[in-house]
Every structure is written in C-alpha cells, then in structure tokens.
Structure 1
C-alpha cells in the first residue's frame, strides 16, 4: 500500500526532443529539446518516502489527500510543461472533453490550456485564434483546403504575457519563445499546418478532425505588471485551473486548505519551501506538487515562481 502523501513531492521532469526545440532545457543533449514535462501523471517522485512512485499511483491511492476536495475524479488533472521554441510549432487545435470522447475514444480528455511567456526574443509572435470576422463555414473550408494560414491571427508577445487558450482555439508558438504551459491532463492534438515540414509518422496532419473542433473564438491575451516582493497575483483562470505568479524577496505563506494541490514551478532564482515537518530547496526550473492535505507552507528566497491549482 502506498503511504498517504502529506509532504511536498519533488518531481523528476521528462524531457522530449522536438524538431522545433532549442537548447535551454538541456544544452548538452544531442538533439534539440522542445519540452520538459514538469508535472505529469507519469512523473516519478524524487527522494523521500514516495521516491519512484508516480503521481498517477499516488492520485489513485489517495485522491482526497493529494488532489483535494475540488477534484472531479482520481486522475491527476493537470499537465504542466516548459517549452523552448527555436522554430515555429505546428499550427494546431485541441478538442473539448465531449469531442475528445467522440473522436478519440472513451476516457479521453479535451485540452484547454494557458501559456505564460518566461522569455520572448525581440519580435517574437504566436498564433492565437482566427482573424476577427472569420465565418465558421469559411474557416472549415480553409482547413480542409490547406489554407488555414489565410485566417490565422498572429499576435506579438513579450516577456510576462499570459494567454488563455480554450479548447477549439487555433494556435501555434513562434521562434524565440520560452514559456510555461498548464493544461488539462491530455496530449490530444490535431495538427492543421506544419510549415511544410516532412509529414513523418509523428507529424501527420489531422485536417478532418481539425475542421470539426476548430472554432472562431478568440484567445485571451493579458500583460502582467511587475509584482512587489512577497506578492502573489492571479494571471488567469478557467473551469480547469487557476494560474498564479509569485515573487520572493519577502516571506510568502501558502495554504492548500484541503481544497486543491498546489503545483509550484520555480522560474528564476532559488526558493526555500518549508512546512511544519520539513523543508526543501527548489532550483530554477524545478517543480513540486504540494498535496492538498498539507495545509500551510512558507516560501523564502529571491525567486519567481508559477503556481497552478484547481479552481
């Protein structure tokens, strides 16, 4: 029997090679690394009494203690990544929950997601939604005919911007972006256009599915102001998650209250996380899941971090 998780769980990230990836996540890797899966149901715990166990195992065994009262089931509900974009990602779209079940099978989840830009090169841009005034029938015809870029809406972005991307929103990330992504626990992606890269086995297009699920909705882009030392600020929220930004320089106190786990990722600096029974130091780009049952905890140090939790 897996012991109940009542202390923070430091996770071992999973690195993924991508044709569009860069060198920030692992400069020594022989191939570009595009994604670090920081918080995922198959991530293993590093150290402590739960070392080697996955979030999926702990969620199934102790959903109330780990996930909290706000959870809708026993599956770990969020997937958090860091993305390093040296080239354009494919133009893609994700289904909602109902469409995921209909198109991919029972048990599949849709994907609503949010991005927070950690670093943006001068002139960096992304695609989020379609141009205002685009009609649904015209968009469907363009997707099936390979002309979706005629309607894609490009946006310039800078460091600190946040984008909420509901399921069904056409989107793509451009070169020069390093960002944090939080989403539903799903990697169900329909690729609409891939910049004429070779259609390898892992990069095929899904025009039929894309035409079904893509909407004319616009993504929500927000610019965040600087935080004061010791301040926490909500960046965005939806039915699936709340995303907050934290800054150190003064003591911070958090409290799960038994309602939801807190998934914390340090984005710069070093954070000292302490709770009643112990403490751990988190280096840059490391993530920890604080179980809902833990309650109050404290953060100290000069750092910035992002925190995702259930709404």
Structure 2
C-alpha cells in the first residue's frame, strides 16, 4: 500500500516480531511452537507496525518515506540501519564470520552491507560458552590454511560467559554461540554470513559452508566478553559502541527516567525484565519482558516508568 507523505512517524512504533525455526533453537522465545525457535527478529526493516496510524506498514517503508523523522540527523541513507534479534541457543550455532562493508560489496554484490554486531547475554546456564576471535599468537597465513582445510577449531578461542556480559564483534571476527544462552543481538542491517564449521551437521542447502569466502574475510582479531555491574535505578549505562551503533542498558524503579532523541537518532528499546511504561506525545505504552518498541527520532522527549531493565540501541 502507498504511504501518504503527510504521515511522518512521530509516535512510538510497536512491531510484529519475526520468529525463525533453527536446528539449534530452544523454547524460550515462542513456547507454544512445536518446533525449536532460535531467533526472533524484533527490530528489522521488514517488521510491520502492529497498531496506530502506521499499522501494516513496514519499518523499511517508513524509513524510506520519512528518513529524517524516523532515523534522525545522524543516519546515512534512507534504509533502516540496524537489525535487532533475540536468540535462544539450545545447541551450538555454526562457527561463522561476517564481511565488512567493502568485502560484502565485492563478494556479494553492490548494495550489500557488512555486519559488525554485539551480543548482550540475558541468561546463561553455569559454564555456558561462546566462541569469539582466535587464540593468541595466531597468524593470518595459518588461520587461512586452517579454514580451507576444515581445521578452524584448532584456532577458535572459547570464552565462558554469564548474564550481563557484552561482546562487541567487529566484522571479520570468528564467532559462535553455545548451548544454554539467551541473548540480545544488535547488528548492521545485513544477513550476510559465511559459515566456517557446523559441528558436522548435514550440509543442507540452507546450511552450506563458505570456506573460500571465510578464508578471505576472517581476521586474527581477539575479543573478550565485557562484564557489567548491576545498574542503579534511573541509570543509563553504556555497554558498548562502534561506528554503527551504541548499546545501553536502562534501569527503572519508581522515579521516571527521562529521555530525548534530540532528533538525532531513533531509539530502539527492548525490555529484558519487569514492566516498562513508555510515554511520548501524550501516549503511553506498556511493554513486558522481551517486547520491543522503536521511538522515532522526531518523537523528541519521552519518559519511562515502572520497575524494569531494558536495552536501548541507537546511532552513535
């Protein structure tokens, strides 16, 4: 349907999540599903607005029609620049890597974007692990040889993680998530993934390996999970930042937490615990655990009340 030019988004947008079955998925994202759900894409350019004057339109349609009002002055271009997911990992994900912007255009075609991403751990069973980066002393030639020979696990570095840890993963970083993790992921708007190793699962059409591409883009980058201290009520705590996004944790208890987009960037909020009441432009929305909302840049000031913890992603 066509989008009238006069309907610029200035009110919070509640989106319809997209759930995806995965061989490694669990039961926490959509308990009623008969099959394992690994991912919920909660803020994505193809998500539809659930209600209000923009009901039925996608985030991408609104972004293209009203980039300044939705995205803000800091945005480059008209495409919604971030993709936010929730992941429920019952088994190991494939060991994979993402290209940077230049590599994505060279290897996958013009208009493709690379993928820098960050993880924030929401739940972790004792001893839960993930792979991030390569072991100390790994040189580029040895890494490339190992990838092409199917021996990447000789160099992959494992980390034990717990709830509250954050990992920033620049493009080119080898990575994988292990069993027992529930996490929030923010990344560039891209689904370009090169699979390096898949734990000897059958190489189906949707789970093929990409060894030549992986060998070209994987770097010897080393990263480490960063623990965070428990936030105080009313606090906005920066967890990580990069050229593509800033990830913050907000804690509410009693006194209203005041915020302002300043017209510079949208604010994407996901509740991780408790109940949040968001008031903007005279309208109040109630959000529970794992629910998300996008506050357009044009919304300006808004307030958050309730007893809650939430994550907020925005442009830097």
TM-score, normalised on structure 2? 0.98
Structure 2 partner of 1:153: 157
TM-superposed deviation, 1:28? 1.1
For 2:77 and 2:55, locate their aligned partners in 1 and report how far apart those are by CA, in whole Å: 24
Q: 2:18 aligns with which of 14, 26, 44?
A: 14
Which residue, out of 272, 277, 282, partners 1:277?
282
RMSD of aligned alpha carbons: 0.6
Q: Which is further off, 281-290 or 13-22?
A: 281-290
Q: Residue by residue, what CA displacement relative to the aligned partner does 1:7-41 show, whole Å, maximum 9, x if unpaired?
A: 00001100000000000001110110000000000
After superposition, what is the alpha-carbon deviation per residue over 1:198-237, rounded to whole angstroms, capped at 9, x for unaligned? 0011000000000000000112421000111111100000
Q: Give runs of ≥4 in structure 1 deviating > 2 Å.
A: none
Aligned to 1:295: 300
Residue of structure 1 in register with 2:220 after alignment: 216
1:232 is matched with which residue: 227, 231, 236?
236
Task: Give CA-to-partner distance per residue, 1:107-143, whole Å, 9 cap, x none.
Answer: 0000000000000100001000000110000000000
Q: Distance in 2 between matches of 1:92 and 1:149?
A: 11
1:254 maps to: 259
Map residues 127-276 of structure 1 onto 2, 5 A cutoff.
127-249=131-253, 250-276=255-281
Gaps of 5+ in 2: none
Match of 1:112 in 2: 116
Distance in 2 between residues matched to 1:62 and 1:220, nearest whole Å: 38
Structure 1 residue 251 displacement after superposition? 1.5
1:304 and 2:309 are equivalent in the alignment = yes
CA contact (8 A) 1:163 1:219 kept: yes
> What residue number does 2:81 align with?
77
**TM score, norm. by length of structure 1:** 0.99
Contact 2:168 2:223 in 1 (8 A): yes
Structure 1 unpaired stretches of 5+:
none
CA distance in 1, matches of 2:281, 2:111: 38
* 1:277 Cα deviation after fit: 2.3
C-alpha distance in 2 between matches for 1:47 and 1:97: 34
SS in 2 for 1:74: coil
Alignment coverage as a number of residue pairs: 311
